């Protein structure tokens, strides 16, 4: 005999598939929605639908956006000769919070991780190289802002090798960031110092 109604079980299972959400948290979220007005659940359902209907990837930087190109790539107030390379869209948000950086971005969507079967061809590295070499505005600097962990360092080294014969200046964020940490969890002051103290690779 099934104690929990099938729709409740299904929603718990779906919540459980989200990163960082275990069965207990999934159950709490589901019963929270059950206890609240139906409008709350409806608003959540609409937001989830719009996530895939209205969000696109920018064709230039591969960040999430509502338009292609995104508002950052199309802005005339940004420095188009400067590209900051990050792992994920969340890293763009983290750096933007500092209000220190006024260049463009390039989102890799991951890092090189052979143990997980992720190679350079699975990331937006080839697109980065193509973008730098074919840019209408000459790129004077590429800032590599991958996380300071094993995968992030391996990715940074791979990218730097792609520009061995290029005149483009390559820099790496300064070590104001803790080793093994993620950009999205860094505070604004730490990120500001890391940006201003970046070093040439």
Six token digits for residue 44:
């959540």
In angstroms, the CA 126 to CA 131 distance is: 8
Residues forming beta bridges with residue 170, ordered by sequence position: 142
Instruction: With beta carbons less than 8 A apart as the criterion, state whether 73 and 61 touch.
Output: yes
In angstroms, the CA 88 to CA 183 distance is: 9
Residues forming beta bridges with residue 177, ordered by sequence position: none
In angstroms, the CA 126 to CA 165 distance is: 15
Which tens digit of pLDDT belongs to each residue from 141-160?
999 999 988 999 999 999 99
Instruction: Name the stretches of the chain with pLDDT < 50.
Output: none
What phi and psi, each to the nearest 5 degrees, are found at residue 147?
-65, 145
pTM, full prediction: 0.80
120: exposed, middle or buried (Cβ count in 10 Å: 0-12, 13-18, 19+): middle
Q: What does the pLDDT read at residue 178? A: 72
End-to-end Cα distance, the chain: 63
Instruction: With beta carbons less than 8 A apart as the criterion, state whether 69 and 59 touch.
Output: yes
3-state secondary structure 95-113: HHHHCCCCEEEEECCCCCE
Q: What does the pLDDT read at residue 1? A: 59
Q: What does the pLDDT read at residue 189? A: 74
In angstroms, the CA 141 to CA 124 distance is: 18
Q: What angle do CA 64, 69, 75 make, to 5 degrees?
A: 105
């Amino acid at each position: 005999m099934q104690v929990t109604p099938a729709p409740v079980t299904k929603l718990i299972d779906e919540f459980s598939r989200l990163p960082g959400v275990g069965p207990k948290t999934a159950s709490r979220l589901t019963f929270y929605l059950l206890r609240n007005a139906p409008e709350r659940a409806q608003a959540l359902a609409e937001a989830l639908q719009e996530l895939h209907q209205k969000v696109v990837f920018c064709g230039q930087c591969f960040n999430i956006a509502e338009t292609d190109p995104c508002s950052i790539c199309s802005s005339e107030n940004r420095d188009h000769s400067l590209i900051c390379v990050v792992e994920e869209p969340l890293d763009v948000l983290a750096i933007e919070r500092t209000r220190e950086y006024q260049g463009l971005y390039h989102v890799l969507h991951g890092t090189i991780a052979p143990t997980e079967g992720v190679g350079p061809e699975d990331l937006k590295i080839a697109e980065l190289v193509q973008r730098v070499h074919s840019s209408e505005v000459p790129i004077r600097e590429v800032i590599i802002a991958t996380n300071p962990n094993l995968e992030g360092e391996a990715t940074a080294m791979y990218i730097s090798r792609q520009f061995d014969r290029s005149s483009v200046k390559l820099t790496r964020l300064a070590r104001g960031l803790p080793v093994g940490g993620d950009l999205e969890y860094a505070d604004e002051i730490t990120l500001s110092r890391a940006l201003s103290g970046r070093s040439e690779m």
